Structure 1
Amino acid sequence: MSEGKTAGSLTLRRLEVADLEAAQGLSRAVSWPHRVEDWHFVQALGFGIAAEADGALLGTAMGWRFGADHAALGMVIVAPAAQGRGVGRQLTSAVLAELEGRVVQLNATSDGFPLYASLGFVAEGEICQHQGAAFSVGLVPLQPGERLRPMGRSDAALLAQMDRAATGQERGAVLDALLAQAEGVALERDGQAVGFSLLRRFGRGHVIGPVIAPDAVAAKALILHWLGVRSGQFLRIDVPAESGLSPWLQEMGLAHVGGGTPMRRGPRPVVGPGGPQRFALVNQALG
């Protein structure tokens, strides 16, 4: 995108670190929970486009490249007073122009869905957002030969390998950044790591994700660990509906409070059969 591109009185330009305080104000205006620190995290991993008029930030959109072939699009926000003027379409199109040739995935709000559908994205399921602070937690249901162990920076390659097997995408840079600020646990079976989950500060409290596991029983064990050690604290988790975890999370005390629609433009990433699965997202922007 050329810097300073203007459409009428609207200027599209790069989103800079200096914009993130104002960007957090935009997200607050549309009832998104992101802190300034959360904006810094996603901005450092990708690039953003800002829509500006008369020196005021009116909108944002961001893109993240995963390896050579894939990408995510998110953080598309338009100030309430500027909605209905095509700002979101201009921002989204500007990001997509820089991601040309890649398979692009996003999680759409109900308001954003028609725009993305008109730009060639197709829906593929549902994301269920759960959150709460009152949990019903029993013993972590580990099977014979299983154990949970803490994860650290030395596990970066292992996390990237399991995540790639589950998503078909190269997201090593995202996982490296997560490990720098998150707590993590790995599930081992007979001494071999078969799944993991991370917990980090986000929004109103902490978010659990991603969760990569070989099956739903293992995913529950990885999630229950955090419910146990963070009992009484505000937690959030975003899970694909097809994971089957949504009813169970509600039983655990994490209310279903909404979600989004996963959408994709381009072929589905190749994921091998019988491997680990993604049971919770990093967040709705990064997938």
Structure 2
Amino acid sequence: MQRSVRLKSFELVARDIDDVDVKLLHALSISVRWPHRPKDWDFLRRAGRGIVAVDGIGRVFGSAMWFPHGDDFATIGVVITTPRTQAQGGGRWLMDLVLEQCGDRNLALNATHAAYPLYVSLGFTTEAIVYMRQGEIPQTLPTMPALDGQLQALSSDRLKEITALDTRAFGTNRERLLALLAADASICTLSRGGEIVGYSMCREFGRGHVIGPMIARNDLDAVHLTAVHLKELAGRFARVDTREKDGVFAAFLQQCGLGIAETVTTMSKGRRFLNREDNGPWVYGLAGHALS
């Protein structure tokens, strides 16, 4: 795949994302009103690999990243193009470069409305809708249902206790990503009968905090695994990305001031990404749009 492309009156060159000043990446996300802070970009660069489109004087016009989980699966995200380059095919060029790097891996991504037609043309198929819920957390949470089990904090050096559960819910072992997330996150587990049946992480991101990843077996468990973090965030901005459109969990988020800000579409290429088991663990809260 060509490492440069001419878009009408100017030429763009592909550079490794690690070789680009994070301030320029931050400016790119600001230009499309994405919430990523410089430290969020730094985290993403530690978690994955990426390509940036720059012009002859070093200005950044686009980005695309991929995050490997093992040798046969990856998620794609942080695909950003300025309006000028998007209209001239810059997004397709970046995606072609990323797909070349991903090789024959199975892939998943969360598509914005603007990028959805591009991903369809590249062979991705629709699986689900993600609801980005966010807002300021009230001082008092709604009345909680009875807790079935025990909630307990988990230190980052005990991640192996939740790895198998996460792998079953997510579909692929993402132990390395969990370790990176846990370094700056608070973690809570839910246990029944001595077995961990769910967990949630909460960390700083964008405008405030994001709760995710979160794995639970049912809506009530997900409510408690969310509330344990929301209690510490009263009066502050929080976000939960979930594929739950309605039900007890979705209603609880709404009552906590987390309204739907926007939606994206989960898509896959290769094997199907989402496979929900009856009464099995499920990803109630995403780690992030790029990380899924």
Is TM (by shorter chain) over 0.5? yes
Report the equivalent of 1:233.
236
Report the equivalent of 2:14.
12
Report the equivalent of 2:79.
76
Deviation of residue 248 (structure 1)?
A: 3.0
- Say which SS state the counterpart of residue 241 (structure 1) adopts: coil
Report the equivalent of 1:280.
285
Percent same amino acid at aligned positions? 35
Partners of 1:46 and 1:62 within 8 A in 2: yes
Report the equivalent of 1:44.
46
What is the root-mean-square deviation in Å for CA atoms of aligned residues? 1.8
Deviation of residue 259 (structure 1)?
A: 2.0
Report the equivalent of 1:258.
262
Partners of 1:142 and 1:221 within 8 A in 2: no
**Partner Cα distance (1:105, 1:21) in 2:** 28
Report the equivalent of 2:115.
112
- Write the deviation string for residues 246-277 of structure 1: whole angstroms up to 9, x where unpaired: 33311221111112000000111466554211
- Write the deviation string for residues 187-241 of structure 1: whole angstroms up to 9, x where unpaired: 1112221100000000011100011011111001101111112111110110013
Report the equivalent of 1:121.
124
**Partner Cα distance (1:131, 1:242) in 2:** 14
> Size of the alignment, in residue pairs?
284
* TM-score, length basis structure 2: 0.92
**Partner Cα distance (1:91, 1:130) in 2:** 29
Q: 1:223 aligns with which of 226, 232, 252?
A: 226
Q: 1:175 aligns with which of 174, 178, 201?
A: 178
Deviation of residue 40 (structure 1)?
A: 0.6
Code of the aligned partner of 2:271: P
Q: Structure 2 unaligned segments of length 5 or more: list them.
A: none
Partners of 1:149 and 1:186 within 8 A in 2: yes
- Say which SS state the counterpart of residue 96 (structure 2) adopts: helix
- Say which SS state the counterpart of residue 124 (structure 1) adopts: strand
Report the equivalent of 2:36.
34
- Say which SS state the counterpart of residue 15 (structure 2) adopts: strand
Distance 1:256 1:272, change over 3 A: closer
Q: Structure 1 unaligned segments of length 5 or more: list them.
A: none
